[in-house]
Amino acid sequence: MSFDDLSTELDLRKEQALYRCRRTLQTPQQPIVQVDGREYLAFCSNDYLGLANHPEVIKSFQTAANKYGVGGGASHLVNGHSQAHHELEEALAEFTGRPKALLFSTGYMANIGAVNALLGKQDAVFQDRLNHASLLDAGLLSGARFQRYLHNDSESLDKKLAKTEARRKLVVTDGVFSMDGDLAELPELSSVCKKHDAWLMVDDAHGFGCLGESGGGCAEHFSMPSDDLQVLVGTLGKGFGTAGAFVAGSEVLIETLVQHARTYIYTTSMPPAVAAATLTSLRLLQEESWRRDKLTQLIKQFRDGCQELGLTLMDSPTPIQPIMIGESDKAMQISKALEDDGIFISAIRPPTVPHGSARLRVTLSASHTEQQVERLLQSLEKVSV
Ligand SMILES: Cc1ncc(COP(=O)(O)O)c(C=O)c1O
């Protein structure tokens, strides 16, 4: 059997300006990067606090690599669960104010594992229509009745929950929506969940480190009692600047995941040195609140500047500040024009975002300077978005 059919599909993607290409980074993740041999000022990583290349985080990684070696060597339930993993789980439980936390090797795996450990065919899952792909995939894979409610619309959720007779009901939402930057209305969603005896699961991949006085994300931002938010997911590759993810919650929840989450059970543990490095980034994230203050300033500067330029921004209070473009080919053209001017921002296109809503996903980091944000604004003016 030939691959002609696949080639035709790939060609079609190119024609529709939906073809994706990898670019090669030759420096650490930081504001000035080298990509494919050229230097750029970048505004597209999720390293919101600038911890991915922090000297103390690197040092902890190196020290732990000397102690534990490189690979985890086995799954957590065989003999890959090291002291470094265990300490990080305890610290994350304390940080989130939950009895327990469980590490996963990626956020994608945490979401697939958690939803599938909790739900089966007799159950129902309700998802915001703009949820991250890993949450949507998790729901579809679970075999539970899968329904999407209107974005951040607790009435739409309420109506759907009122009609279900499922054994278990799980409502799932991003905390900060990854491609839009807005926050889930957690207090409203939680009261609808209570009314219908449903669990609430929040994936706060983009909230931890950025929101809340001590970086505790959406839950801290909204002062949500932990009993109102039963399944809390965080990823470590974004604000924490490392890699991996965790689920935090009650003893029963975490024990259920240990017994049933297949993406936890059937995979090698994350490298212990990553866990040790994350313990250091967790401390920096909690204690050094100046990074959140700096982000707030940069967000304001960027939004004010865009308003002056007449650019359409989304209603986002977070470091995710997408500029809505619309058609994919136009988004690609603008991204290329910015690149020619030394600014690196990738265009986000369908199917990552709905059709007709391609955008430049600008992300800010505490490691950017005011001058760099000014330089971005000048470039946006120049390419006349
Ligand atoms: C909301 C959300 N959840 C989960 C993930 C996946 O996390 P990871 O990159 O650790 O797999 C991402 C992005 O990568 C995300 O934006």
Which atom in ligand 1 lies closest to the alpha carbon of residue 177? 1
Domain ranges of the chain: 19-48+289-382, 55-287
Q: Are strands 231-235 and 199-203 parallel, antiparallel or unpaired?
A: parallel
Regarding the beta carbon of 272 and ligand 1, being less than 6 Å apart is answered: no
Who contacts 215 (Cβ-Cβ below 8 Å, separation ≥6)?
208, 209, 239, 285, 286, 289, 292
Can 238 be counted among the known catalytic residues?
yes
C-alpha of residue 274 to centroid of ligand 1, in Å: 17
C-alpha of residue 310 to centroid of ligand 1, in Å: 31
- Global pTM? 0.96
Q: What average pLDDT does this structure show over 217-240?
A: 98
Q: What average pLDDT does this structure show over 284-305?
A: 98
How far is 153 from 155, CA to CA, in rounded Å?
5
Can 382 be counted among the known catalytic residues?
no
Active-site entry in 160, 169, 206, 368: 206
For the domain covering 55-287, report its CATH number: 3.40.640.10
Regarding the beta carbon of 106 and ligand 1, being less than 6 Å apart is answered: yes
C-alpha of residue 235 to centroid of ligand 1, in Å: 6
Can 2 be counted among the known catalytic residues?
no
**pLDDT tens track for 111-155:** 999 999 999 999 999 999 999 999 999 999 999 999 999 999 999
Regarding the beta carbon of 205 and ligand 1, being less than 6 Å apart is answered: yes
Which atom in ligand 1 lies closest to the alpha carbon of residue 109? 11
- In a 13 Å sphere around the CA of 349, the CA atoms on its Cβ side amount to 19
Q: What average pLDDT does this structure show over 293-309?
A: 97
Task: Give me the DSSP letters along 305-367.
Answer: HHHHHT--B-S--SSEEEEEEESHHHHHHHHHHHHHTTEE-PEE-TTTS-TT-EEEEEE--TT
**pLDDT tens track for 160-178:** 999 999 999 999 999 999 9
How far is 90 from 135, CA to CA, in rounded Å?
25
How far is 296 from 319, CA to CA, in rounded Å?
8
Residue whose CB lies within 8 A of the most ligand 1 atoms, among 235, 247, 320, for a mutation test: 235
Q: Using 50, 70 and 90 to split pLDDT, how confident is the model at 312?
A: confident
CATH topology of domain 19-48+289-382: Aspartate Aminotransferase, domain 1 (3.90.1150)
Which of 168, 165, 185, 169 lies closest to 177, judged by CA? 185
Regarding the beta carbon of 217 and ligand 1, being less than 6 Å apart is answered: no
- Please compute Rg for the chain using Cα positions: 21
Which atom in ligand 1 lies closest to the alpha carbon of residue 176? 1
Regarding the beta carbon of 132 and ligand 1, being less than 6 Å apart is answered: yes
Regarding the beta carbon of 245 and ligand 1, being less than 6 Å apart is answered: yes
Place of tokens 């009692």: 225
Regarding the beta carbon of 46 and ligand 1, being less than 6 Å apart is answered: no
Who contacts 373 (Cβ-Cβ below 8 Å, separation ≥6)?
298, 301, 302, 305, 364
Q: What is the pLDDT of residue 157?
A: 98
Q: What is the pLDDT of residue 294?
A: 98
Cβ atoms 218, 178 nearer than 8 A: no
